[in-house]
Amino acid sequence: MSKIKTAFFCGNCGYESTKWLGKCPSCNQWNTFIEEVIDKGNSKTQDNWKTYNTEKRSTAVIALTDVTSKEEKRITTNDPELNRVLGGGIVPGSIVLVAGEPGIGKSTLMLQDALELKNIVTLYISGEESEQQIKMRADRLKISNENFYLLTETSTHIIFQEIKKLKPDFVIVDSIQTLQSDIAESSPGSITQIRECAAAFQRFAKETDTPVFLIGHITKDGTIAGPKLLEHMVDTVLQFEGDRHYAYRILRTLKNRFGSTAELGIYEMTGDGMRAVLNPSEILINQKEEQLSGSAIAASMEGMRPLLIEVQALVTQSVYGTPQRTVTGFDLRRLQLLLAVLEKRGGFQFGVKDVFVNIAGGLKVEDPSIDLSVICALLSSYEDVPLPAHICFAGEVGLNGEIRAVNRIEQRIAEAEKLGFEKIVVSKFNKKGFDKNQFKIEIVALTRVDEVYRYLF
């Protein structure tokens, strides 16, 4: 009998070793190595895709100058948010990983988008749900498609046999952690299995020009389950996130070989599936009957899209010895930096106050241009004076209390004007980048935080 071959794999990054190691030399994590069976010595053949297409793909060496550059054809879906995030549509032969928390709506979004592709043959492979469960979800979405096919199977060998019979134009795998390859002997979801199954689908996608979407799980600390190699193998990594207590979901691009990694798609979870939110600024700004203190509107950018979001702040006298600093949707270290700027450059005593900051709508914002609106919301709550109506802010705040210029200022101003704002406060250094006369909105250009305080209060 053949000898059973085993190896040790790092549970964090997928590093392979012939013996157990206490510390991983790749990611420097301790006690992460797990022993897995990689081969029992059985002769196994990999799938051959040379007879799949009529076009023969040449594997000879070719000079770069001899390659004809042509515009890549994309499959345009009926979902404008997914098209934007992918860079204009689905690229043939691409392999896309969609990850997110349980119950966030990954399977619903993929099923909905696949059912709306009426003209191409789609195969939906599910290792988690039965045909009846998927049918119930499709009935809830109220979309019918005769070119949509289901396969509930976890063995990649059987899956590829069915793919050769059907020859689909688009494949969705739900999820990659449930599949099992004959090449490796370990259990589904292990590092070896995820790597082998993803590699098999990568070979299939590249050799047949068939786009493949892999739905992936995430771990308890928010990272994508499986080896880090999985993210390197795929062409695009999409993160589907959002607070399950809110109706809104965000589709972020973590990696994209065919477009920008700064794009963002926003959806609203409804009873009939995911609805693409085409104008999120109107939703993210709460309409209030009366002006309240501690609220400021920020003109931010997510990728190429301008967003107007509401920043809420609450400053109260500290009851305990150590003041609290609590944030939702904003970086805590950034808040501490801004509070230090206000204490040093403005003379405000935030050291004895509890400070709470919240980005309305459940968004997580990383754009530094919301610094100015956070500071204005803090000052408004500190003085307990509401900010003037119909005013918004766009500016980064430096350590010396100066207001720094931000990029794409024209798009931010145009979005504020479109939503009916009368004034926007920007950095004086941004004035060189645009023509002030082309906008009807009043543009207030200031240089320092103390000037903003004097202007508002």
- Whether residue 86 contacts residue 234, with contact meaning beta carbons closer than 8 Å, is answered with no
Q: How far, in Å, CA of 96 to CA of 103, rounded?
A: 20
Widest distance between CA atoms in the chain: 85
Pairing of strands 325-328, 264-270: unpaired
Q: How far, in Å, CA of 328 to CA of 335, rounded?
A: 11
- Where helices occur in 167-254 by DSSP H, the ranges are 191-208, 229-233
- Whether residue 445 contacts residue 424, with contact meaning beta carbons closer than 8 Å, is answered with no
Question: Could you tell me how far CA 350 lies from the centroid of its own chain?
Answer: 34
> Burial letters for 400-418: b for 16+ Cβ neighbours within 10 Å, e otherwise?
ebbbbbbebbeebbbbbbe
Pairing of strands 295-302, 391-394: parallel
Contacts of 148 (CB under 8 A, 6+ apart): 114, 115, 122, 124
Q: How far, in Å, CA of 400 to CA of 295, rounded?
A: 24
Per DSSP, the residues of 4-22 read PEEEEEETTT--EESS--S
Question: Could you tell me how far CA 315 lies from the centroid of its own chain?
Answer: 32
Omega of the bond leading into 175 within 30 degrees of 0 (cis): yes
Sign of CA dihedral 205, 190, 250, 276: positive
Two tokens, residue 156: 């990649």
Which residues carry a binding-site annotation for ATP?
A: 100-107
Place of tokens 């259990």: 187
Question: Could you tell me how far CA 66 lies from the centroid of its own chain?
Answer: 37
Question: Could you tell me how far CA 255 lies from the centroid of its own chain?
Answer: 9
Which residues carry a binding-site annotation?
A: 100-107
